[in-house]
Amino acid sequence: MNLKLGVDVAGAHNLLPKDGHGSSSAFVELHFDGQKYRTTVKEKDLDPVWDESFYFNISDPSVLPNLTLDAFVYNNVKGANSRSFLGKVSITGTSFVPYSDAVVLHYPLEKRGIFSRVRGELGLKVYITDNPSIKSSDPFVNMARNHETNPKSAQEPVKKSETRHTFHHLPHATQAPANTAVPAAPPPIMRYGYEQIKPNPPPQPPKLVRMYSDSSSQPVDYALKETSPYLGGGRVVGGRVIRTDKASSTYDLVEKMHFLFVRVVKARDLPSMDITGSLDPYVEVRIGNYKGVTKHIEKNQNPMWNVVFAFSRERMQATVLEVVVKDKDLVKDDFVGLVRFDLNEVPLRVPPDSPLAPQWYRLEDKKGDRIKSELMLAVWIGTQADEAFPDAWHSDAATPVDSSGAASALIRSKVYQAPRLWYVRVNVVEAQDLVPTDKTRFPDTYVKAHIGNQVMKTKTVQARSLNPLWNEDLLFVAAEPFEDHLILTVEDRVGPGKDEILGRVIIPLNMVEKRADDRIIHSRWFNLEKPVVVDVDQLKKDKFSMRIHLRICLDGGYHVLDESTHYSSDLRPTAKQLWKPTIGVLELGILNAVGLHPMKIRDGRGTSDTYCVAKYGHKWVRTRTIVDNLCPKYNEQYTWEVFDTATVLTVGVFDNSQFGDKGSNTKDLKVGKVRIRISTLEAGRIYTHSYPLLVLNPNGVKKMGEVHLAIRFSCTNFVNMLYTYSRPLLPKMHYVRPFSVMQLDMLRHQAVQIVAARFSRAEPPLLKEVVEYMSDVDSHLWSMRRSKANFFRLVMIFTPVFAVSKWFGDICMWRNPITTVLVHVLYIMLVCFPELILPTVFLYMFLIGIWNFRYRPRYPPHMNTKISQAEGVHPDELDEEFDTFPTSRNPDLVRMRYDRLRSVAGRIQTVVGDIATQGERMQSLLSWRDPRATAIFVTCCLVAAVVLYVTPFQAIAGLVGLYMMRHPRFRHRLPSVPVNFFRRLPARTDSML
């Protein structure tokens, strides 16, 4: 594959004048991988525009992340055959993206040395392409020669291809194939060859460590438990792996499971079975009481299936595998032939061993005699690391009586890539030459825009002309690939509830300009078309058509929020050029679940068909569904790249209701979820814990079981990881042009709906209720329980302040004379030597931090019922929390809840009012609202200034401190004079209605 680096030099802005006449003749020189190209010279222009494209050959794609593109801006000095430096831009290889993701970025020009002076920006579009129709530019000078050689003539830029380039491969950004996990650096692979499978050591009882603090204690059954399982790399003890005698496999965070794989490829020369001479063959793979069936192919004696069946080895109760070919019939299926395999003779294969090639096997009839027909098969024993594992039909994902395999698409594991989301900004400026239906009045117009299900309107303008002006921004969310168009209609409000469409324009989002910063987008005029059939003669009479003035862009400098802001798993902007290098790799092993609560009734007993979903960044994963099992074993491992430690991994467990007795219209039920913040994990440590699955329902909090996870965060760049702590949490555009809280809530809701719609069309689908539950879509809704929980969280924050205040009160009241005397001595020392105050404070915090190191958490945080106020919550408050929005309860109950909400809101209103009153009294000290109080305060300030000027600061501080800690016999119960004075100051409460 011949990769090329494309560079579009758009233009520069606000360059430094260098020709002595207030201008510059600028050109750009590009350096990359030993090649150098140059643009044309723009004479006397401080804002030059080139729009020239160049293409570099990439000699070695494996070192692409280590290469740098340098763009130097020079001023051409005529006559002297020389140039002067105007600035440079350096772009590292980790910022190169495919052509489809590239946008023009305006980079600020950098200095070449300490004493150089530069200003301005350079607009570049940098991308990678493998389009064979694009030829590399001809370098006018090799980089191995003199670096400063000035060419006699610049090469003509290569004309940009009109084809959209598709990027297929990048060495530094390879993606894992579906349902497989790719670690950052694969450890040595364990090779088994064809030897006998050795069972794992006998499972020892896991060491359960109850972990909960006194401040947030909860029932022991709800606590986190640390385990010591035997994984692929060895036994995990205290977060470290005790290696076995063999090297660890790629799947070292899960228990190794063995499966019997049967690949049924095709058959040939099958006999005709019906009277008509036709044959509808299918294959039935049987071992013990488990069997898998392929689909039948009508009237074909040389059919092809190419399907894989996987049978869990621990569930096998037979030693013979039978592969039977049958003929589909209306009454009874006819036997065609079979092939038998002794499991003791089946070879063992573990990647990276080469896949086992299928072979032709002669079929046997019922008597055991060979017949002419043949079946191509491959039979081997492997693990979940096998390439065939994700797409195989699994015996542990089907009941023993299930022989159809029709629901295999709904129970298969899957890796989903969330669509890349963009903010669509539509600035509606104005319209011209509107043609209203009623010619006797000026229209009251507004613009309605919608993309898919998103609809927004501008304000209604009561214009006195046919050219209304709005200048209003409308914001939408769109996902790649852009399936919906932007549709804008100009409507006239004829009367109450009656609107008429004056014109409409449809704009494909593929044609909208992308930007990654806040540069100005050029506006465009669009012709408005009548949405209804009009008279052709009338159109000929109309000299001008209606037009609308718009600025439209896809904002890629923002991070599109599609999940709760408290549990964000990704903080990167949409534009890939702005992505920072990865700082680590997150590996998750979903081991098993135990003690699950039955979610359905089958054959008169409770059971569950569960699967797990893990979400981090753009990558969602789903394990296979384990059918009819309350203690399922998944043992699937997945990997993510980490860009920021302030992100959260979410793992949820769901019951699959899309097949079986309940039909396909039932929603998948939530069993519970776990959140793990990456910043709370130590690098290199393996966390093996059993997490309680706690769910809040209208009957209260309930434990639905436990899910067993193994987690490891590996840091690949320690310096970059430390640097992330100094960077803003969100991309730059969130601070340059921030959105309001209302806008963010609306856009987040739309983003979740778009992601849910895309995933629901996948195979197998990830349903809307699953996406909403994983994204915490309802976390912003009102809840009395959440309000109490947040209030008590606030109280816990101020508890140390209250404790210090109480301790100081005891000092002032001389409850412990010895301690009080010691505090007096320490206070006098700090007053006499004030330079020791700050060092003492920082040293004290250092000692506290060192002391707390021994009590540091050794486990990730998990759900806590006490902090959530979920243990003693009132049933009516729970019913209110699970009520629909808008409410579906009867009016009397809603009235009672409304009165209760009014009482709670009244108390909050009083507290907020008291805080505002204290602030307004502070302002009244100098505002002369109370002339006497202000005169007293100003006089006291003058006296205090004179006293503080002539009196040493140590004396003043010492006297004030000793006065505050004076003995109780010198105290009065009445408030002090300053407090009385402050409380008498006026506030704006007198002006409130």
pLDDT digits over 234-277, tens only?
A: 888 877 887 655 545 567 888 888 889 999 999 998 888 766 66
The predicted structure's pLDDT at residue 109: 92
**Cα–Cα distance for residue pair 897/889, rounded to 1 Å:** 10
Residue 151: is the preceding peptide bond cis (ω within 30°)? Answer: no
Q: Please report the pLDDT score of residue 889 as a whole number.
A: 84
Cα–Cα dist 522/186, whole Å: 49
Segment 526-543 shows an average pLDDT of 63
SS3 62: helix
Q: What is the pLDDT of residue 187?
A: 38
Mean pLDDT of 650-657: 93
Q: What is the pLDDT of residue 825?
A: 87
Read off the pLDDT of each residue in 319-332 and give the average, rounded to a whole number: 87
**Residue 339 banded pLDDT, cuts 50, 70, 90:** very high
- pLDDT value at 518 more than 50: yes
What is residue 175's predicted lDDT score, i.e. its pLDDT? 39
Q: What is the pLDDT of residue 37?
A: 93
Crossing angle for the helix pair 891-927 and 931-950, nearest 10 degrees?
A: 60
Q: Give the model's pLDDT for residue 398.
A: 66
Q: Where are the beta strands (DSSP E) in 318-419?
A: 320-327, 334-342, 359-364, 370-383, 393-394, 414-417
Residue 162's pLDDT band (cuts 50, 70, 90) = very low
- Phi and psi angles of residue 948, each rounded to the nearest 5 degrees, phi first: -65, -25
> Is residue 180 predicted with pLDDT exceeding 90?
no
Asked whether residue 345 carries a pLDDT value surpassing 60, the answer given is: yes
Q: Which residue has the tokens 């790799």?
A: 585
Measured in residues, the chain has a length of: 993
Report pLDDT for 87. Answer: 93
pLDDT at 1: 64
What pLDDT, on the 0 to 100 scale, is given for residue 979?
Answer: 83
Q: Nearest-CA neighbor of 284 among 332, 326, 329, 328?
A: 326
pLDDT band, very low/low/confident/very high, at 166 (cuts 50, 70, 90): very low
The tokens for 442 are 């000026």
- Predicted confidence at residue 249, as pLDDT, reads 58
Is the pLDDT at 348 greater than 80? The verdict is yes
Q: Which residue has the higher pLDDT, 827 or 589?
A: 589
pLDDT at 154: 37
What does the pLDDT read at residue 848? Answer: 85
Q: How far is CA 397 from the centre of its chain?
A: 29
Q: Looking at residue 228, what is its pLDDT?
A: 85
What pLDDT is attached to residue 693?
A: 93
Evaluate if residue 75 carries a pLDDT over 70: yes
CA angle 552, 555, 561 (to 5 degrees): 130
Strand partners, 359: 377
Report pTM.
Answer: 0.78
The DSSP code for 253 is: S
CA distance linking residue 828 with residue 536, whole number of Å: 97
Q: How far is CA 467 from CA 359, 427, 446, 540, 551, in A?
A: 77, 16, 12, 21, 17
Task: Count Cβ atoms below 10 Å from residue 897 Cβ, excluding itself.
Answer: 18
Q: CA-based diameter of the chain, in Å?
A: 122
DSSP-derived secondary structure letter, 314: G
Residue of 447 and 61 predicted with greater confidence: 447
Is the predicted pLDDT of residue 712 greater than 70, yes or no?
Answer: yes
Residues 6+ apart with CB under 8 A from 356: 347, 349, 378, 379, 380
Rounded to 5, what percent of the chain is helix, strand, coil?
Answer: 25, 30, 45
Task: List, for residues 15-49, the tens digit of each pLDDT value.
Answer: 999 888 888 999 999 999 889 999 999 998 999 99
Q: What is the mean pLDDT of residues 713-728?
A: 90
| 660-677 residue pLDDT tens | 554 445 789 999 999 999
For residue 491, is pLDDT > 70?
Answer: yes
Identify the band that residue 451 occupies on the pLDDT scale cut at 50, 70 and 90.
Answer: very high
Looking at residue 399, what is its pLDDT?
A: 54
Residue 897 has pLDDT above 90, yes or no: no
Is the pLDDT assigned to residue 698 strictly greater than 80? yes
Q: How far is CA 551 from CA 424, 471, 482, in A?
A: 11, 10, 19
Q: What are phi and psi of 270, to 5 degrees?
A: -70, 145
Distance CA 47, CA 824 (A): 69
More confident residue, 913 or 576: 576
| Measured distance CA(458)–CA(491) in Å, rounded | 10
Mean pLDDT score across all residues of the chain: 82
Q: Helix H segments across 520-608?
A: 536-541
pLDDT the model gives residue 654: 94
Mean per-residue pLDDT, 794-823: 84
How many angstroms separate the CA atoms of 362 and 902, rounded?
81
Show the domains of the chain with their CATH numbers.
4-129 (2.60.40.150), 258-412 (2.60.40.150), 420-555 (2.60.40.150), 576-775 (2.60.40.150), 807-991 (no CATH)
141, pLDDT greater than 50: no
Position 893 scores a pLDDT of 86
From residue 297, how far is each of 104, 266, 329 by CA, in Å? 53, 11, 12
**Which amino acid is present at 313?**
R
What distance in Å separates the CA atoms of residue 426 and residue 447, rounded to the nearest whole number?
11
> What pLDDT, on a 0 to 100 scale, did the predictor assign at position 174?
35
Confidence label for 696 from pLDDT (cuts 50, 70 and 90): confident
Cα angle 63, 65, 71 (rounded to 5 degrees) comes to 110
Which residue in the block uniquely carries the two structure tokens 């200034």? 945
Which strand (E) or helix (H) includes residue 693? strand 686-697
Strand pairing category for 304-312 and 393-394: parallel
Least confident of 135-139, 376-380, 604-608, 631-635: 135-139
Percentage of the residues of the chain whose pLDDT score is greater than 70 = 87
Please return the burial class of 293, using the count of CB atoms within 10 Å of its CB with bins 0-12, 13-18 and 19+. Answer: buried
